[in-house]
Amino acid sequence: MVVTKQLRKLKNDEIVTDKDIEDSRIPIDVILDNRWTGGTKTYSIGLLLSLLNVYEKLKDKISINLYSLGLRIKDDNEIKELYKLNFQDLYNKYKERKLIDIVYYFYNSEYIKDKNSKRVNLDTIINEYPKLYANMSLNLFNEEFSAKINELYKQNFAYVFHSDYVADILLAFKNEIENNRMNLPAKHVERIYNLFEKRLKKGRTDKELIKDLFDLLDELYISNTDDKRILRFRKKYDWIRLGMMYYINSLLRAKDGLSIFPSWSMYSEVKDLIYHINTFFKDSEYQDKIKINKFTILHEPLYMVSLEKIYKDEIKSFKDYYSNIYGNSNKIWLLYVGRTSYERGFKDLVEAYERLLRDKMDIGLIIISDGLKKDSKDHEILREIKKNHHNAEIHIYGKDFGSSVHNYVLYYIGLLKALGNSKKAMYINPTYMESYGLSTLEALVLGYLPVIYRNVEALEEFREFGYLKEELGFKDKQELYNKIKDIIKDIKDGKYDKYIDKETINYLKKEVDPENLADKYKDIIEGFIKEYNDEEENNQKKKEILELTN
């Protein structure tokens, strides 16, 4: 290989040219996930900024082949859109500190129309190069892909685990039922709802929940049946079964590579899932073959921290704009960011808000959600609240309302800073599911806002590390209502700062800074380089021995 050729030139005292050095760089394949908005996309952007920083430090040793999965997937769950992005163009923007251009390029999928990027076949990434899969749930590993990739050098890759796969399956089932697309016998519908509610009540996925889900999947997909509804279900929803098999195929390779988790709670959930998969597939090819040998816990890089450092003047102007709105207001403001779905606890927050209005509290609600639609039931409920309570004030920032701050992220940072500076606002995260909590961290490290949160998964972990205040965690609706009232009283008494530990927040800010996390990814990639070179040297030695013996 080219690395060996370069070493030979050095041994023979020949001149090594820039072209030789460029050709000797080891390619690293990075596959990002851009199939939907939310945490996955936010994480992918943060990781991209970290990798651009890594490349700046290692560009004499590596090149990066950057890929992104598109939004569309075939009915059989195969990847339909895979784009190879022009990494050098992005790096040039990075050198010029045009980070906002990089963010919008990825966030808005501008590479689809970029002549310097191209749509490629999945076979493009079947090679011996080291790989970083930026989302474990990529749906890449069908049998053909798995077989081809397993023929190559196995150890030089890393998986990033981003979401709770069991919760994702339950959520997919529930959404299909509620949209009248899934026609199952009543007992199965009831079991799905019961499992979903159990997952919400527990606040995490555990072995008992996983076992119950696999028992349900066995009935829906495997057990013998004459029920036509089940048979139609198997045909229509084979994509769920296939997706799970791809996930299991991915896990089969996990033992040979590095697994990256954003939290210890996520690691624990995956370990429990692996345990049950090995049990469920007893006496099969999968039994006891799935394990995680190497893993690390890494914060997810928060790309807005990088933007804050570069676009200070722009952010200040937006902060001043929002300060005129919220700083000069007599109201105390509740901030909610994310989907307005049931599992995100949005309904609980709205109920608490209406109770506070009935208590004659002068309080406003800010909702930042690109998923909220004007014609949705959630928006209708909000309109009814405004109609029934003269003191209600609800501000919505979202695509359907022509006011998305995620599309103009510097506005969002300015808004967070204005709310924190006003000392009259708090961030509420009432979710029942949270594998990490990017929006929560944004409110904390950019806005220095008090965070009221449900004691679940990663949020509970953040509390244990001291990032979230123990006294602001809650378990149920009544506690949520009480916590909000407590902060309102403290704000009125001038005790807002008791909830803001700037030293701890600034420490966390460094932990989630893409540039600081780049050092962690640099260590991972340097491990790739060593393993790759060791393998190449071993192959070269074998080749030379063969030549001598012949």
Domain boundary residue, one of 236, 260, 294: 236
- Phi then psi dihedrals of residue 282, to 5 deg: -60, 140
Q: In terms of domains, do 387 and 500 share one?
A: yes
The Cα–Cα gap between 477 and 309 comes to 38
Residue 147, helix vs strand vs coil: helix
Residue 218 resides in a domain: yes
Q: Distance between terminal CA atoms of the chain?
A: 21
In a domain, 307, yes or no: no
**Which of 236, 260, 292 is the C-terminal boundary of a domain?**
236
544 shares its domain with 438: no
Instruction: Tell me the two tokens of residue 330.
Output: 């007599």
What's the length of the chain?
550
Residue 242 lies in a domain: no
pLDDT at position 10:
44
In a domain, 34, yes or no: yes
Let me know whether 220 and 143 are in one domain.
Answer: no
Give the pTM: 0.90
In a domain, 409, yes or no: yes
Rounded Cα–Cα distance for residues 511 and 526 (Å)? 21
pLDDT reported for residue 11: 44
Angle at which helices 238-254 and 228-236 cross, to 10°: 60
Same domain for 55 and 158 = yes
Q: Which helix (H) or strand (E) holds 371?
A: none
Name the residue among 446, 443, 421 with its Cα closest to residue 496: 421
In a domain, 301, yes or no: no
Match 């700083």 to its residue by tokens.
327
Handedness of CA 216, 219, 220, 221 (dihedral sign): positive
Q: What CA–CA distance (Å, rounded) separates 188 from 91?
A: 51
The values of phi and psi at residue 41, to 5°, are -65, -45
Domain boundary among 201, 216, 236: 236
Q: Are residues 120 and 206 in the same domain?
A: no
Residue-number span of the structural domain to which 154 is assigned: 2-162+514-549
> What confidence score (pLDDT) does residue 16 get?
47
Return the pLDDT at 542.
64
Task: Report residue 254: phi and psi, to 5°.
Answer: -60, -30
For residues 425 and 519, membership in a common domain is answered with no
Hey, which bits of 262-303 come out as E strands? Answer: 294-297
**Cβ distance 362 to 353 under 8 Å?**
no
The token pair that represents 49 in the structure block: 């900024």
For residue 320, being part of any structural domain is answered with yes
What's the Cα-to-Cα distance from 438 to each of 151, 182, 255, 330, 338, rounded to whole Å? Answer: 37, 32, 28, 29, 10
What b/e string do you get for 120-157 counting C-beta neighbours within 10 Å, with b at 16 or more?
Answer: eebeebbebbbbbbbbbbbbbbbeebbeebeeebebbb
Contacts with 377 (C-beta within 8 Å, 6 or more apart), sequence order: none
CA distance 439 to 257: 30
Instruction: List pLDDT tens digits, range 217-238.
Output: 999 999 999 999 999 999 999 9
Indicate whether 149 and 215 sit together in one domain: no
Regarding whether 469 and 435 lie in a shared domain, the answer is yes
Q: Are 259 and 298 in contact (CB under 8 A)?
A: no
Q: Are residues 49 and 121 in the same domain?
A: yes
Q: Cβ contacts of residue 436 below 8 Å, gap of 6+?
A: 39, 43, 162, 262, 263, 266, 300, 458
Residues 188 and 218 in one domain: yes
In whole angstroms, give the CA distance from residue 351 to residue 550.
81
Between CA 43 and CA 56 the distance in angstroms is 20
Residue 141's pLDDT is what? 81
Query: What interhelical angle do 514-549 and 502-512 show, nearest 10?
Result: 30
Do residues 518 and 50 touch, judged by C-beta distance below 8 A? yes
Q: Locate 373 and state its tokens.
A: 């639609």
| CA–CA distance, 429 with 337 (Å, rounded to integer) | 8
381 within some domain: yes
Residues in CB range of 270: below 8 A, 6 or more apart: 161, 165, 259, 261, 292
Q: What is the CATH number of the domain that holds 410?
A: 3.40.50.2000
> Are residues 104 and 190 located together in one domain of the fold?
no
18: CB partners within 8 A, 6+ apart: none
| DSSP conformation class of 257 | S
**Interval 161-212: pLDDT, tens:** 988 889 999 999 999 999 888 899 999 999 999 999 999 999 999 999 999 9
Whether residues 447 and 367 fall in one domain: yes
- How would you classify residue 466: left for phi > 0, otherwise alpha for psi between -120 and 50, otherwise beta? left
Q: Where are the alpha helices (DSSP H) in 96-142?
A: 99-107
Low-confidence ranges of the chain (pLDDT < 70): 1-23, 71-80, 153-154, 283-284, 286-287, 538-544, 546-548, 550
For the chain, the domain total comes to: 3
Instruction: Give the 3-state secondary structure of residue 76.
Output: coil
Cα within 13 Å of Cα(391), Cβ side: 15
